[in-house]
Structure 1
Amino acid sequence: MTPVFAHGSLRLYLLSLLAEQPRHGYELIQALSDRFGGTYIPSAGTIYPRLAKLEDEGLVTKSTDGRKTVYEITDAGREELLAREGDLDAIETEVSDSVRRLADEVRFSVTEAMKSLRADLASAKRQAREDVPAQSSGTAAEPGAAIRLESNRALHEADLVLNEFRQQLRADLRRRAAVARVPAATVPELRRRLDEVRAGILASIGH
């Protein structure tokens, strides 16, 4: 995926978000995700070092609200925003362009995936026709050809389901990591659960 922010732009954009209202780290990540329509979700490793740098520069302060660390812009931060108002306008334009670009990339990926699926299905149909013995009155379909076609269709649909699951779980884990740690036991537990699902699916299809 192509870069979303030019060098130094994210720092100023975070300041502008904090100028709207104090926020904790997850709220900043969520705000950025909302601005990009969910096509860009920055990681905690991207956001928190920049917040720490802004704090070192005296542009933001942080306070504790229960278990959350809330960041708030300082007067010096507002002065920086005012002084760089033209840069911020350019960043807003940059963000709009990035949203369009990311949306185009998503559409292209989906389109290519659908093209591949249609091509594979067409290939499976063609192969099924070639496997059907010629009859004097035309072509009669073998039961085996229909089974192969159905099997290929199910396989590609399974690929789509697995990809959707992977993307959703990855996004869920990143959101969790933004507000709290992801336990080390998550990986072996995930592997165990997936092994169980795999064994169950194979058993259900007779393997």
Structure 2
Amino acid sequence: MTPVFSHGDLRLYLLNLLDDQPRHGYDLMQALSDRTGGTYTPSAGTVYPRLAKLEEEGLVTKTVDGRKTVYAITDAGRAEVGARAADMSGIEAGLADSVRLIADEVRGSVRAAMKSLRADLAAASHQATTPTATPREDDARVRSREQLQRADAAVNAFRAQVRADLRTHVARGGELAASIVDDLGRALDDAAHAVAASLRR
């Protein structure tokens, strides 16, 4: 996957997050994941060395709060964030593009799931319309009920995952563009129409 952050961008983004409020390392990692819509989940081995470098440069300080190490931006760090505001705008635009790509992936996943469901429904329909003995008809009904359970589980899992991702993103201060919701709505409408068309066959 193409890196979400170009060289040096992650350093500035960490400073920007700390400009909002002091944070501990895990909170920074979670914030990065949330603000990129899950496209980028940094490891401790990525974040902590950069924080250590920022501390060496006098741009952040760290204090121990119980078992957590909390990082806070310094005046020098704020000055750098302010001086590079234009760079931050470019980084934010790149992150917005990443979130749009997620919507595209969701749409593709829904289409793939609907294609599989259409195939299952077609197979079940073929079995149901083929003259067979009563036990086989019963088998077809059992298979249809099993497929219905699969469909229910897939829809519920999709709803729960997307709802959780969206709520977490917004709760963490991320921006949710109307275009993302519009894309999601269109993808769901397409999926619903595909299912309805398959059921009418």
TM-score tier by shorter-chain length is: 0.5 to 0.7
Matched residue SS, 1:42? coil
Unpaired runs of 5+ residues, structure 2, are 166-201
Matched to 2:53, the amino acid is: K
CA, structure 1 residues 8+121, in 2 after alignment: closer, same or farther (shift >3 Å)?
Answer: farther
Aligned to 1:39: 38
The 5 A counterparts of 1:1-207 are 2-36=2-36, 38-40=37-39, 42-45=41-44, 46-130=46-130, 132-133=131-132, 142-154=137-149, 160=154
Deviates more, 1:3-12 or 1:82-91: 3-12
Displacement after TM superposition at 1:20 (Å): 1.4
Matched to 1:19, the amino acid is: D
Displacement after TM superposition at 1:85 (Å): 1.9
Unpaired runs of 5+ residues, structure 1, are 135-140, 172-207
Q: Is the 8 A contact 2:39 2:98 kept in 1?
A: no
Displacement after TM superposition at 1:43 (Å): 3.7
Q: Is the 8 A contact 2:23 2:71 kept in 1?
A: yes
> RMSD in angstroms over aligned alpha carbons?
3.3
CA, structure 1 residues 111+50, in 2 after alignment: closer, same or farther (shift >3 Å)?
Answer: farther
Runs of 4+ that moved beyond 4 A? 155-158
Matched residue SS, 2:121? helix
Aligned to 1:199: none
Matched to 1:76, the amino acid is: A
Tell me the percent identity.
60
Over residues 78-106 of structure 1, what are the superposed CA-to-partner deviations in whole Å (9 max), with x where a residue is unaligned? 23223322211111211222222223222
Matched to 2:146, the amino acid is: S
Displacement after TM superposition at 1:151 (Å): 3.2
Displacement after TM superposition at 1:5 (Å): 2.5
Quote the Cα distance in structure 2 between the aligned partners of 1:8 and 1:33.
18
| Matched positions, count | 158
Over residues 113-136 of structure 1, what are the superposed CA-to-partner deviations in whole Å (9 max), with x where a residue is unaligned? 233223222223223323x249xx
Quote the Cα distance in structure 2 between the aligned partners of 1:118 and 1:11.
47
Displacement after TM superposition at 1:40 (Å): 4.0
Displacement after TM superposition at 1:3 (Å): 3.6
Matched residue SS, 1:142? helix
Matched to 1:90, the amino acid is: G
TM-score (norm 2): 0.63
TM-score (norm 1): 0.61
Matched residue SS, 2:71? strand
